[in-house]
């Protein structure tokens, strides 16, 4: 796997603040790329096609599913969301780190296919805070808010499928924790076998340094 970038999957229940934490991380690490998802949901005010999402109709989305164009996809609150495969593959191969900010169903699909990814689960510090954050968006009806809250609550059970837990009590601290996780992952022996071979090979080829 030498020379390959890291695939960092940031996921967690709706309202945990994944998006904000990712943006803070990306501000500090502009060399890391964020995969832009495709969705069939309508753009919210201020959202731009090709920046926040690729906004497409259901027919286009389903066509891409047929072609195997998604690394993962899921239906979240009645709309399709998916990670286009090409962008992620190309950038990982060229050694860049790529972040996916996706829901839990999608993260579990990626885990099945790509176990060497880093799977980070972001949670709010309390359920009260989660409720406040879901309500704070102010973009959904009361029924929709309740549905999101219930679904977020039940999604907490998937925590054990992840490698790391980041409590989002402050966006800055959560982003710092993600930096630490990535630093530690880059030091893992199994990610550094190419370096090890080179280091060892250097000595094998010139034992005269001991004389």
Q: Which residues bind ligand 5GP (CB under 6 A)?
A: 14, 18, 37, 41, 72, 74, 76, 81-83, 101-103, 105-106
Place of tokens 């992840």: 162
CB 101 within 8 A of CB 175: no
Widest pairwise Cα distance in the chain? 78
Nearer to ligand 5GP, 66 or 206 (CB): 66
Q: Cβ of residue 109: shortest distance to ligand 5GP, in angstroms?
A: 7
User: Would residue 46 be called left, alpha or beta, if left means φ above 0 and alpha means ψ between -120 and 50 degrees?
Assistant: left
* Residue 42 CB, nearest approach to ligand 5GP (Å): 10
Backbone angles phi, psi at 28, to 5 degrees: -80, -25
* Paired tokens of 26: 């990306």
Residue 132 structure tokens: 């406040």
- Nearer Cβ to ligand 5GP, position 5 or 106? 106
- Minimum distance between the CB of residue 159 and ligand 5GP, rounded to whole angstroms? 15
- β-partners of residue 167 are 123
Give strand pairing partners of 80. Answer: 75
> Nearest residue to ligand 5GP, using CB?
106
User: Cβ of residue 107: shortest distance to ligand 5GP, in angstroms?
Assistant: 7
- Kindly tell me which of 88 and 182 has the beta carbon lying closer to ligand 5GP: 88
């Amino acid at each position: 796997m030498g020379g390959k970038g890291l695939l960092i999957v940031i996921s967690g229940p709706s309202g945990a603040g994944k998006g904000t934490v990712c943006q803070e991380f990306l501000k500090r690490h502009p060399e890391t790329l964020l995969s832009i998802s495709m969705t069939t949901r309508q753009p919210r005010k201020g959202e731009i096609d090709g920046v926040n999402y690729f906004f497409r109709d259901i027919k286009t989305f389903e066509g891409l599913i047929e072609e195997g164009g998604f690394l993962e996809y899921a239906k979240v609150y009645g709309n399709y969301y998916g990670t286009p495969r090409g962008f992620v593959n190309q950038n990982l191969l060229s050694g860049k780190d790529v972040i996916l900010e996706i829901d839990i169903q999608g993260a579990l699909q990626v885990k099945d296919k790509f176990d060497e990814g880093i799977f980070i689960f972001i949670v709010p510090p309390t359920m009260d805070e989660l409720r406040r954050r879901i309500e704070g968006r102010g973009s959904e009806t009361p029924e929709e808010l309740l549905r999101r809250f219930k679904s977020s609550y039940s999604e907490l059970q998937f925590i054990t499928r992840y490698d790391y837990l980041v409590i989002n009590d402050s966006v800055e601290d959560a982003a710092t924790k993600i930096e630490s996780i990535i630093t530690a992952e880059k030091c893992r022996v199994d990610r550094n076998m190419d370096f090890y071979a080179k280091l060892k090979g250097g000595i094998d080829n010139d034992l005269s340094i001991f004389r």
